Structure 1
Amino acid sequence: MSTSILPDATVRVSRSDGIEARSRLLYAALALFAAKGYAKTSTREIAKAAGANIAAISYYFGDKAGLYAATFTEPFGGDPQELIAQFTAPGLPLEAALRIFMVGYLDGLKQGDIARQCMRLHMRELIDPTSEWKHAMEKDIQAPHEALASVLCRHLEVKRFDDDIHRLTFSVTGLAIQLFVMQDIVDALQPQLLGSTAQIDAWADRLVAYGLALVAAEAARRRKSSRKQEK
């Protein structure tokens, strides 16, 4: 939308502290969408919570749908494709690949309440999907899954995905995802385990080891199955 049709005050704000104003709208929307869902959250509520002019939503995000999409992709920063490119680099040892994967995924936990809100938003989308679900599935879920499956295939010397490669991929990915899903439970039972960036880094280290153990177990299972077939 052209800035010429916005109120003069909005134009001045966008020029002087536009990044801050946009950020306030983004995080106010995240909190409200996570708590109430897309349909029950109005742009007027979001603007009020952010202390912004309602016209600023159109200026920065286009419309309510554009703002909703931004709450899925922007709070944690980074591009999933960049992370994929890093952990799928040719010749990368499996431990290094899993470390990049786990550190990249768990980094969002360091944002505390924002991580909780993002998880609640995604859970709402699972229960009551909007058009954003298909986009999130393709970019944030399917693409990383297939990329990690390819890495596991390479290290297990499997030519193509099979059901057990997918099982293993879901299991390794689940090690990281379960910390987001169970964040409130961990905080209630053992709050020190997510109480600092150092603790989250420790989780990443442990999950790399757990992931390697899962891969080793699958490799052993495949060797045993192969020997049985040869007899």
Structure 2
Amino acid sequence: MNAKPTHHDSSQPAVAEDARKPRSDGELSRERLLHAAMRLFGEQGYSKTSTREIAQAAGANVAAISYYFGDKAGLYQACFAVICTPTADNIDQFAQPHFTLREALQGYYTQMIAPLMAGGDADAMLRLFYREMLEPTGIWQQVIETNILPEHAALVQVLCRHLGLAAPDDGVHRLAYAIAAMCVQMLIARDVVARITPQMMDTPDAIAAWAAHLVGYAETLVLAEKNKLQQGKA
């Protein structure tokens, strides 16, 4: 699972003039509907959330949902379109052939923690994903096929390159799952971390520091696997 922050980072270079123009009332209304829908769908599920309820929470007319999204299903799909970064963009961050192992792992975890960098939207985004996993409408399977599967395959190829393997075996897939799982812990156990060590995820800098440590842990796992393979050939 990968998501993109919806807040603006003032530390980034100036954007084009058109991007700095004030948003129209229509754009603001559409954004309010998306935010309200993400929150309510995540809290209550797709079937138990009505378009009237979403419109009321967004301070918009229910007809606006039909205008911008077609229907409730279109709005639900639009929520995931907001959350999910294009798969190719995610893969580009870690699967460059010239990357060192550390650079590849840094890129991999950077795109993995993107949902946590979404500021106040992070909880709504993650809860929506959890709800879809628990009460699937079909979109979760689409996410697996169009996002998770190709990103896993790309990571496996990165690992094969650094392990000196021509093709992956179960051990490489297992290693890829383990590397991902260390970050998945950050995504699904936020309440646990907030209760035990809240300082470890209470700011973007803290989240980035945790991800940086994961790079070191993952690098150690890959090097241990490489040593094991080399010993097996000896």
Cα distance between partner residues in 2 of 1:17 and 1:161: 52
Q: Extract unaligned runs of 5+ from structure 1.
A: 1-14
Conservation of the 8 A alpha-carbon contact between 2:126 and 2:187: yes
Counterpart of 2:219? 212
Cα distance between partner residues in 2 of 1:45 and 1:127: 22
Offset of residue 113 of structure 1: 4.5
Offset of residue 112 of structure 1: 4.2
Q: Tell me the secondary structure at the aligned position of residue 24 of structure 2.
A: helix
Post-superposition Cα deviations, 1:59-79, rounded to whole Å, max 9, x if no partner, equal 22222112112222314x632
Cα distance between partner residues in 1 of 2:134 and 2:232: 39
Q: 2:153 aligns with which of 121, 141, 146?
A: 146
Paired residue total: 212
Normalising to structure 2: TM-score of the pair? 0.85
Q: 1:175 aligns with which of 168, 182, 192?
A: 182
Distance 1:145 1:138, change over 3 A: same
Post-superposition Cα deviations, 1:124-156, rounded to whole Å, max 9, x if no partner, equal 222221121221111221121111111111111
Offset of residue 123 of structure 1: 2.1
Tell me: higher relative CO, structure 1 or 2? Use CA pairs within 8 A at least 6 residues apart.
2
Instruction: Return the index of the structure with the highest Cα Rg.
Output: 1
Distance 1:170 1:89, change over 3 A: same
Counterpart of 1:38? 46
The alignment yields a C-alpha RMSD, in angstroms, of: 1.7
Normalising to structure 1: TM-score of the pair? 0.86
| 1:83 aligned partner, one-letter code | N
Cα distance between partner residues in 1 of 2:85 and 2:144: 17
- Percent of matched pairs sharing the same residue: 43
Offset of residue 87 of structure 1: 1.3
Which is richer in helix? 1
Offset of residue 119 of structure 1: 2.3
Counterpart of 1:190? 197
Conservation of the 8 A alpha-carbon contact between 1:116 and 1:180: no
Post-superposition Cα deviations, 1:94-119, rounded to whole Å, max 9, x if no partner, equal 11111111112213212244222322
Q: Extract unaligned runs of 5+ from structure 2.
A: 1-22
Cα distance between partner residues in 2 of 1:221 and 1:63: 55
